[in-house]
Amino acid sequence: MKEFLGFGGYQRKPSGAYSWQHLLLVGIVLAAMVGLSIWLGLTYRGKDIKRKNRVLIGAAILIDALEIFKIVVMILRSDEPSTAWHGLLPLFLCSIQLITIPLAAFSKGIVKDAALDFVLIFGILGAVLGTVGAAQNYNAYPVLSLDNVVSALTHSISGFASLYIAISGMASMKKRNIPITFGILGFFCAAAAVTNKLLGTNYMFLVSDDGTPYSLLTALVGDNKVLYAIGVILLFVIYIALFYAIFSLCTKKSRQNSAAV
């Protein structure tokens, strides 16, 4: 257990990015994510919103409990506990789900609708990028470690919530929610940028790609830090716009087919 939690440093060597160990772990959690979301989504699809909400409440409690446990352990095992929290703030794109999933589960009205839409839009993306795409983590830590296992679980819970919202019919994707969705993203991007400047961190990967798929953007703009940061934010905006457009197109066709029948 001490070795799994990383106290005293990991004695095992990392298996490496896209090793069979990496792919096996993420394959298991992603399969569980998809299977559970389909099963529970279809089970609760015809139920009232209160019953549908129970699953989201469970997901919200579990994802925050796992992340809090991870943060506490990482601070305790650090050589400098007073500054260890600098890199553990919920200011990555995936970390926003630690806030938006509870909002989707416990709030009401337009706030709930906007939170549901945000989780739907970014949950599955975060799940894939935070498991399959998290190459830097598997180059740095053993696969069976707190850092990688808890990260895989929390990212897969985000993906689960996203798929569950879609399958159970909880998403609204109303036009009035679009400014709130952009507002949530804008707030966290601004907070990440300020924090990066003050603490020398790399939240939202606005400073550098750090071995993530954003390396493609780095290759495109070179060493221009300003263009790189603008490019990262622009990718978020484009992704939201495309998601809304595709969702609207699909639901429109679905309504037309239903009317024709």
User: Predicted confidence band at 10 (pLDDT cuts at 50, 70, 90)?
Assistant: very high
Amino acid at 162: S
pLDDT number for residue 168: 95
Q: Full-prediction pTM beyond 0.85?
A: yes
Instruction: Tell me what pLDDT residue 255 has.
Output: 58
Cα–Cα dist 152/132, whole Å: 9
User: Is the pLDDT assigned to residue 5 strictly greater than 90?
Assistant: yes
Instruction: Give me the count of residues in the chain.
Output: 261
Rg (CA), the chain: 19
**Token code pair at residue 108:** 């009401």
Average pLDDT over residues 248-261: 65
Q: What is the pLDDT of residue 247?
A: 86
Could you read off the pLDDT of 78-88 as tens digits, one per residue?
Answer: 988 888 899 89
d(CA 250, CA 256): 10
pLDDT (average), residues 1-22: 92
Higher pLDDT, 1 or 189: 189
* Backbone torsion region of residue 13, taken as left when φ is above 0, otherwise alpha when ψ lies between -120 and 50, otherwise beta: beta
- Nearest of 26, 3, 32 to residue 141 by alpha carbon: 3
